[in-house]
Amino acid sequence: MGLSVVRRGTVRSWALVVAVAVVAVLAPQVPRWLPGSAASVSPDLLRAGVLGSGSQAHQGLVEINGSLKLPELPRARDLTSLLTGTTRVRTWYESPSRWRFDVVSAVGERDVYGTPDGELTWDYGANLLTRVVGTPPVRLPRAGDLLPPDLARRVLSAAEDDPVSALPARRVAGREVPGLRLTPSDPATTIGHMDMWVDPGIGLPVAVEVSARGVDRPVLVSRFLELSATPPGADVLTPKQSRGSGLSIMAAPDVDEWLGALGRGRSPARLAGRELREADVSGVRGVGVYGTGLSAFVALPVPRDIGAGAAEAVVNAGGTREELPRGEALHLSIAPLSVVVVRSEFARRWYLLAGLTTTDVLLEAAGELALLSRTRR
């Protein structure tokens, strides 16, 4: 069996990917669903049901449609495909520590298993089983993150104080279910609203649409095509390795070291009027999360070669260059995502900023970062 581990030499090709991945939210086209006639249910009760649905077992088939106009991301073909096209995912969910999802494409099938001992990935095309030893602190978004239950819980948790309103019922996966709309109250976020339809009997979201502010179509649509609220069998939650297959092992400490090479220094206490909410995120030195709710953004200091590479990627994707008092910023908006690369002439440093927030907010933060002295870092 072949053995492989993540190596630090891959850092330079992941520059822009890391910035996007920390805050990525996906995108799609809205299908024409038939309206349903389910009885009206309080949207506040639906929200409470969704937030408490983490223990609800289920299995089914999900379709994810993405229409986010991402630039070509280095070494991230799977992520780009997920955000810009149609992906079908078969899912089995027993509990937060025991689940499985399969992504089937024209070029093969990839299965991801969650177990109490960690994660495993089975790649049919490569005939390879990959085991993650420990818990990876940060990873790229994947299809499992965009399944309706996971996506809905994550966004509602981030926007717990924002208002919700009722939506007409829809027919999804053979059932008529009521809906709710979350409308962010923070004008700085680029999310216009998030709509979801929920089975009120079990609190499980069966369809989710995320819409960017000022964009007619949703930027994300994820819905069940088939759904059963029954626990999956133990046999489907256990990977079956075939004869002659390879084994790849990725150790979580190696991933820590790899990501830690990106961040350097300490995060400022405030940026763009927003307090530092979390520093050294997931053990990556210098990564700061600023603000709360859906308008929060991430700031990451990076080495010069990585910053220059990210700046080139932004320019090639149609980004805009803006002069700062002591440096320059290159910014790109891919609704609802905003990305800014900062070069500080004063401290001779580079930074990446990204979030579901307006470019104006990130440019304000960029101007402040450009004025930070090197001794402070």
pTM: 0.76
Residues 27, 79 within the same domain: yes
Q: What are phi and psi of 36, to 5 degrees?
A: -105, -175
Three-state secondary structure call for residue 61: strand
Q: Is 364 left (phi over 0), alpha (psi -120 to 50) or beta?
A: alpha
pLDDT per residue as tens digits for the range 237-289: 988 766 655 555 554 444 344 444 555 567 899 999 999 988 766 556 677 88
Is 1 a domain residue? Answer: no
Is 14 a domain residue? Answer: yes
Virtual torsion, Cα 137, 115, 25, 46, nearest 10 deg: -120
Sheet holding 270-271, edge to edge: 270-271, 274-279, 288-290, 297-302, 349-355, 337-344, 327-334, 320-324
pLDDT at 377: 43
What residue type is assigned to position 180 of the chain?
Answer: L
Domain span holding position 84:
8-252
Is 3 a domain residue? Answer: no
Is 332 a domain residue? Answer: yes
Is 306 a domain residue? Answer: yes
Residues 312, 237 within the same domain: no
- Tally of structural domains, the chain: 2
Domain boundary at 252, 285, 305, which?
252
pLDDT per residue as tens digits for the range 194-231: 999 999 999 999 999 999 998 888 988 999 999 999 99
Is 46 a domain residue? Answer: yes
Q: Is 58 left (phi over 0), alpha (psi -120 to 50) or beta?
A: beta
> Is the confidence at residue 34, as pLDDT, over 60?
no
> Is the confidence at residue 76, as pLDDT, over 80?
no
Three-state secondary structure call for residue 297: strand
Residues 288, 246 within the same domain: no
Taking the C-alpha atoms of residue 165 and residue 84, their distance in angstroms, rounded to an integer, is 29
Is 128 a domain residue? Answer: yes
Residues 283, 246 within the same domain: no
CATH number of the structural domain spanning residue 173? 2.50.20.10
Taking the C-alpha atoms of residue 68 and residue 87, their distance in angstroms, rounded to an integer, is 14
Least reliable range by pLDDT among 148-157, 232-241, 301-310: 301-310
Residues 197, 281 within the same domain: no
Residues 211, 282 within the same domain: no
Is 81 a domain residue? Answer: yes
Residues 205, 273 within the same domain: no
Q: Residue length, the chain?
A: 377
pLDDT per residue as tens digits for the range 279-330: 766 556 677 889 988 888 988 888 888 788 888 888 888 899 999 988 999 9
Q: 66-92 b/e with 16+ CB inside 10 Å = b?
A: bbbebbebbebebbbbbbbeebebbbb
Residues 173, 319 within the same domain: no
- What are the CA-CA distances from residue 185 to residues 166, 190, 295, 297, 361 (Å)? 16, 11, 10, 16, 16
All residues at 6 or more sequence positions from 283 whose CB lies less than 8 Å from its CB, including other chains = 137, 256, 259, 260
Sheet holding 220-228, edge to edge: 164-172, 175-182, 191-199, 204-212, 220-228, 58-66, 86-95, 98-105, 108-115, 118-123, 128-133, 246-251
pLDDT at 315: 87
Q: What confidence category does residue 57 fall into, taking pLDDT thresholds of 50, 70 and 90?
A: very high
Q: What confidence category does residue 14 fall into, taking pLDDT thresholds of 50, 70 and 90?
A: very low
pLDDT at 253: 41
Least reliable range by pLDDT among 46-60, 84-98, 334-348, 356-370: 334-348
pLDDT at 33: 35
Domain boundary at 195, 219, 252, which?
252
pLDDT at 122: 82
Residues 175, 37 within the same domain: yes
Residues 242, 289 within the same domain: no
CATH number of the structural domain spanning residue 296? 3.40.1000
Query: With contact defined as beta carbons under 8 Å apart, do 353 and 298 qualify?
Result: yes
Residues 279, 321 within the same domain: yes
Domain boundary at 218, 252, 286, which?
252
Residues 75, 161 within the same domain: yes
Q: What are phi and psi of 34, to 5 degrees?
A: -75, 135
